[in-house]
Copies of this chain bind each other. A is one copy, B any other.
């Protein structure tokens, strides 16, 4: 079976899933066409996953597809955008129909869960690599950037941090314990915080998703906003499973490890006080933005080199 037949068979159903998302022309033409509603801005991001670099060799194709779409969708969450559609550039070493079937199933589950329709793509032969570009929509001018944090803003994070980073140690566990299984699920099937991101619109002054580690990602906000921050170690949200697995070292995973795809945002104190209780329950206040540049953890300056380690793929 040739490339086009394979693509049609496995990927075209994903295009039909979300035909309502303004995609006027879907896969199969030279380009896709999206009708962006008047008054909306288009928000988009491209992310690449390379075998052996961003995911293990012989990684389960359904997990891979989910992770690829989740990683990209998480960037939409960080901008407060409503998910719309995506393109997939898939490079494969060989035609393996059972692999493609499992991959398409994982991609379909993720696409449906995140509300993203497949708009187009490209399939080529080569070392296993995926690039996913996601499209979202926000009211004109209301995308949440990294650059708006102001002194006095509270720093909040969603969910719990460090699970996915710790999970890397248990990838080969046979069988994993219940706690190991819990953190492994955070790694294999991360949940982009799309609804939380939309809820932060008109509330957060800045936001980022925690893909490279809390310190590294918070540092991006501080640099883009030309501010500093103080955060407290004891406030960092840690899952009970991670605490049981790693004891007092759990916080190190939460500070330095990546792949959590939780949101870190800055919110003016008055806005936070008036925010709906249901929203506040989803976030933990971990510190405050300050005028003095630099990031302080329990009062001690965090070397920017240390904060930076997580995010530089070339150094990994």
A-side residues, CB < 8 A to B, are 2-4, 6, 24-25, 28-36, 38-54, 75-76, 78-79, 81, 87-89, 91, 95, 119-127, 129, 131, 133, 136, 138, 140-141, 143, 145-147, 207-209, 224, 308, 311-316
Contact = CB atoms under 8 A, between A and B. Distances in A.
Contacts of A140: 35
A285 B50 CA distance: 45
A307 B122 CA distance: 20
A34 B44 CA distance: 8
A24 B40 CA distance: 12
Nearest to A35: B41
B125 A126 contact: no
Nearest to A208: B30
A127 B44 contact: no
A123 B44 CA distance: 16
A293 B123 CA distance: 27
Given A48-B91, A126-B53, A33 B79 contact: yes
Contacts of A141: 24
A38 B38 contact: yes
24 contacts: A2-B308, A3-B315, A4-B312, A24-B41, A29-B145, A29-B224, A30-B75, A30-B79, A30-B146, A30-B208, A31-B44, A34-B42, A42-B42, A46-B120, A46-B121, A48-B91, A53-B126, A54-B124, A89-B89, A89-B131, A125-B314, A126-B129, A127-B127, A127-B129
Contacts of A314: 2-3, 6, 95, 123, 125
A31 B224 contact: no
